Amino acid sequence: MTKLSVNINKIGTLRNSRGSDFPNLVNFAKKIQSLGADGITVHPRPDERHIKYSDIFDLKPVVYKEFNIEGNPINKFIDLVIKSKPDQVTLVPDSESDLTSCAGWDTIKHKNYLKEVVSEFQSNGIRTSIFLDPELKYTETLNEIGTDRIEFYTESYARKYSIDKEQAIKPYVICAKNINKMGIGINAGHDLALNNIKFFKNNIENLLEVSIGHALIVESIEMGIENVIEKYLSYLK
């Protein structure tokens, strides 16, 4: 079964829009776990427009399932992750000006940098994952980098799914075969939703975990969070 980690950045955005503590991030994390989700994901950015750095330390004691922190490994982020010691850190090459993550790592150009950062997190007992575009050339340096997992950036799959789902999934299937041969774990995230998650899961061998936030929150507004999480869990079996 593929694990479902719920990204709660949108809850932080909603809270921050009113300058208050409602909705409460900690209570929401507790509820999501109680409904069967396998983990909580957050992506703190330097401007703290959704997740604040202080939220990490509020969440840490109550996330009793898997805690995944995503972000660009600038010094401030590295310090935060090492101090909070989540179960997993997902390295994402986004800039401060990006509204959302929009690309995976160039693992050829940034091989030595990623190798150093991955080693630092692993030495602190934190599992590492690298945000990756589905291009075969970017899988070739993964063993040298030493990452435990990758997270497929699935925007292109989601965008093309309604046009031709077989073509949309094809580059991910090709890359996944190579990554599985290396013994590296596979996660996925970005624009995955109820309408496309089952086909992705059924076609990617050894898909360990998906991280879903924006779509899940929107779907929860429409259908109720209990129903939505139950649907995701059934599709990921």
Task: Return per-residue pLDDT of the chain as tens, 237 residues.
Answer: 999 999 999 999 999 999 899 999 999 999 999 999 999 999 999 888 899 999 999 999 999 999 999 999 999 999 999 999 999 999 999 765 544 556 899 999 999 999 999 999 999 999 999 999 999 999 999 999 999 999 999 999 999 999 999 999 999 999 999 999 999 999 999 999 999 999 999 999 999 999 999 999 999 999 999 999 999 999 999
50 in active site? no
- What is the predicted pLDDT for the residue at 100? 52
Q: Which of 151, 190, 209, 219 is catalytic?
A: 190
Q: Which of 50, 66, 70, 155 is catalytic?
A: 70
Full-model pTM: 0.95
Burial of 35 from C-beta contacts in 10 A (0-12 / 13-18 / 19+): middle
Between the two ends of the chain, the Cα-to-Cα distance in Å is: 5
- What is the predicted pLDDT for the residue at 99? 46
110 in active site? no
70 in active site? yes
- What is the predicted pLDDT for the residue at 98? 47
H/E/C letters for each residue in the chain?
A: CCEEEEECHHHHHHHHCCCCCCCCHHHHHHHHHHCCCCEEEECCCCCCCCCCHHHHHHHCCCCCCEEEEEECCCHHHHHHHHHHCCCEEEECCCCCCCCCCCCCCCCCCCHHHHHHHHHHHHHCCCEEEEEECCCHHHHCCHHHHCCCEEEEECHHHHHHHCCCHHHHHHHHHHHHHHHHHHCCEEEEECCCCCCCHHHHHHHCCCEEEEEECHHHHHHHHHHCHHHHHHHHHHHCC
Question: Is 3-235 assigned to CATH 3.20.20.70?
Answer: yes
**What is the distance of C-alpha 70 from the center of its chain?**
6
d(CA 81, CA 91): 11
Number of C-beta neighbours around residue 54 at 10 A: 11
Residue 173 makes CB contacts below 8 A (sequence gap 6+) with 203, 204
